Structure 1
Amino acid sequence: MEKIQHTNVQVRELKLHVAEIGSGPKVVLFFHGFPEIWYTWRHQMVAVANKGYRAIAFDHRGYGLSEQPAEPEKATLLDLVDDAVALLDSLGIDKAFIVGKDFGALSAYRVGVLHPERVCAIITLGTPFIQPGPSVVQNHLLPEGFYISRWQEPGRAELDFGRFDVKTVIRNIYILFSRSEIPIAAADQEIMDLIDPATPLPPWFSEEDLSVYASLYEKSGFCFALQVPYRLFLNGAEN
């Protein structure tokens, strides 16, 4: 992706890593999810730029090459909303088409609700619109062994992930998330135990891709990623 340019942009109190391609008057801003990063959107960015748009993807605070906040345990989705609006301000952009995936969709929806004047349209993948406030996750309607339920519990994912190197954790999560069945661990299992080490990567995810993701998560770690999105659901903090 040699045509994609990379910069660090001061956004509020942090510097965010921003990837950009294209120079059209209309802007598409991409929000990643977990276990993702700006790199998730690389092909879509090129396609959008080839159609005359300015395509921008960034690492959320605490992810990848963006800086970590001082108190990640206090973060909510509203921090990501404020970051997105501040990023548009920093880049001199009035309005953008916003594309969000996974928890990035939740942030995209909130930008549209709270700052409709900054949004041309919103496109989301993987997550339906959910009203802010008490959620299915918060109300504990999901199985105890479901990965979201397990990763909400402070310290549990840290111990589970800590048994492996970062590359293996990312590999396991992508294999897990590419399956059609719901990932639910038994009482005597952790989420990483659901993956047979001999399982190959999904065909759309190369070893090169894995190396890129692993290098970025080796830099950022999983601390912020476990807070946003997973632990922010506790006590209604997703607002």
Structure 2
Amino acid sequence: MDKIKHNYVQVNGLKLHVAEIGAASSPAVVFLHGFPEIWYTWRHQMVAVANAGFRAIAPDYRGYGLSDIPAEPDKTLLVDLVHDTASILDALGISKVFVIGKDFGAMVAYIFSVIYREKVTSIVTFGLPFMPPASFHQSCQAAPEGFYFRRWEEPGRAEADFGRFDAKTVVRKIYIMFSSSEIQIASENQEIMDLVDPSTPLPSWFTEDDLAVYGDLYQKSGFQTPLQVPYRSFTEKIGPPQQGPDDLKVEAPTLLIMGKKDYMFKFPGMEEYLKSEQIKKYVPNLEIVYLAEGCHFVVEQFPEEVNNLILNYLNHNKY
């Protein structure tokens, strides 16, 4: 960890934080975090791939962690994060890259591979299969009104809910909720943060020291941009105007790693979608690996197993 360097890259009018480890001449791997995550989510994987001869790069998105907050957070789009990623790679002189993404960072990775196809060697994702963003949003709308995603996409609702606690407590509650195998649904007169009893312990693989890092960085950034992207940006149009959602296709070799106890399986239609051939329409070169005891946070829960899967895949697709 102490060998990870922290730099800032000026792109698209913002100063974005980039954590990095590994030789500049080595094949590059970019790690794209989800929510409630930051570059630190990838601490175990960054060191492992660097030790194996790769260059690991993990940015904080705009409005996350140590990166600048955009002037109008509520106008941030998912595709802005995609273009930021391309600009960071250009600034670092990287023309070809392995892309690794988790949670909605997987969607950033997928869309990056569609828009910047020539830059992508292969993709590894965790916790979220590819589907057109509008289709994912439709899946969420099929859930009850108290479903966390539906609550958080409502402007002001999550801000008021989160605002009752400090940032560290918010992250604690979300990590506890999202490490469950059940989706989080509040009753009509209940808020999402109230679903977690304050006495509930953290998962065994997530320490108080880890939580402190997350808490400090979300204290700095706040939650306005993270609530906008992903929760309020899945209806945006992705791709050229003449393209329909079914035209989106991830051509690069893709490995999807899912914990079998990931709450994402409880999203309406998600398990059926993963088991069907429909996903191959969008990701024809897809391989799926399931970790029997894995939850939504497998990269932190089972780092050694995840690192081995990543390294085997990177070496198999090495450029």
Return the TM-score normalized by structure 1. 0.96
Taking the aligned partners of 1:11 and 1:205, their CA distance within structure 2 comes to: 32
Cα deviation, 1:171-222, whole Å, max 9, x if unaligned, reads 1010111111111111111101100110000001000000000000000000
Letter in 2 for 1:14: L
- 1:165 deviation in Å? 1.1
User: SS in structure 2 opposite 1:108?
Assistant: helix
Determine helix, strand or coil for the equivalent of 1:205: coil
Alpha-carbon separation, structure 2, partners of 1:173 and 1:201: 10
Q: Provide the rounded CA distance (Å) in 1 between the counterparts of 2:162 and 2:12.
A: 31
1:192 aligns with 2:193: yes
Deviation at 1:166, TM superposition (A): 1.1
Amino acid at match of 2:18: V
Match of 2:236 in 1: 237
Aligned partner of 1:60 in structure 2 is 61
Structure 1 position 11, deviation (Å) = 1.3
What is the match of residue 18 of structure 1?
Answer: 18
Deviations 1:1-43 (Å, cap 9, x if unpaired)?
1000001111121111000001152000000000000000011
Shift of 1:143: 1.4
Verify the 8 A CA contact 2:66 2:217 in the aligned structure 1: yes
> Cα distance 1:15–1:210, how it changes in 2: closer, same or farther (>3 A)?
same
Which is further off, 67-76 or 48-57? 67-76
2:140 and 2:150 in contact (8 A); partners too: no
1:26 partner amino acid: P
SS of match in other structure, 1:225:
helix
Tell me: CA distance 1:229–1:143, structure 2 relative to 1, closer, same or farther (3 Å).
same
What residue identity is the alignment partner of 2:227? L
Please report how far the alpha carbon of residue 237 of structure 1 lies from its aligned counterpart in structure 2 after TM superposition.
Answer: 2.0
Q: Which moved more, 1:206-215 or 1:156-165?
A: 156-165
Distance 2:196 2:65 in 1: 24
Query: In the TM superposition, what are the counterparts of 1:1-239 in structure 2 within 5 Å?
Result: 1-23=1-23, 24-137=25-138, 140-233=141-234, 236-237=235-236, 239=238
Question: How many Å separate the matches in 1 of 2:73 and 2:13?
Answer: 13
Greater alpha carbon shift after TM alignment, 174-183 vs 90-99: 174-183
Paired with 2:164 and 2:100, the residues of 1 have a C-alpha distance of 34
Partner of 2:286: none
Separation in 1, partners of 2:34, 2:10 = 21
Q: Which amino acid aligns with 2:219?
A: E
The one-letter amino acid of 1:230's match is Y
Assess if the C-alpha contact under 8 Å between 1:37 and 1:213 holds in 2.
yes
Distance 1:135 1:175, change over 3 A: closer
**Structure 1 contact 76–238 (Cα < 8 Å) conserved:** no
Count how many residue pairs are aligned between Structure 1 and Structure 2: 237
Q: CA deviation at 1:134?
A: 4.8
What is the identity, as a one-letter code, of the residue corresponding to 2:13? E
Unaligned runs of 5+ in 1: none
CA distance in 2, matches of 1:238, 1:206: 39
Q: TM-score, normalised by structure 2?
A: 0.72
Query: Match of 2:106, as an amino acid?
Result: A
What letter matches 2:124 in structure 1? I
Identity percentage of aligned residues? 62
Query: Is the 1:151–1:157 contact (alpha carbons within 8 Å) kept by the matching residues of 2?
Result: yes
SS at match of 2:232: helix
Provide structure 2 residue ranges, at least 5 long, that are not aligned to the other structure: 239-319
Which AA in structure 1 matches 2:19?
A
Shift of 1:133: 3.7
Deviation, 1:68, is 0.9
* 8 Å Cα contact 1:136-1:142 kept in structure 2: no
Q: Structure 1 CA distance, aligned partners of 2:184 and 2:225?
A: 22
3-state SS, counterpart of residue 58 of structure 2: strand
Q: Deviations over 1:92-145 (max 9, x none)?
A: 001100000011111100111111100011111011101244544477212111
Runs of 4+ residues over 4 Å off in structure 1: none
Question: Which secondary structure state, in structure 2, belongs to the residue aligned with residue 42 of structure 1?
Answer: helix
TM-fit CA distance, 1:164: 1.0
Contact 1:77 1:238 in 2 (8 A): no
Kept in 2, the 8 Å contact 1:45–1:56? The answer is yes
Matched position secondary structure for 1:183: coil
**Counterpart amino acid of 1:19?**
A
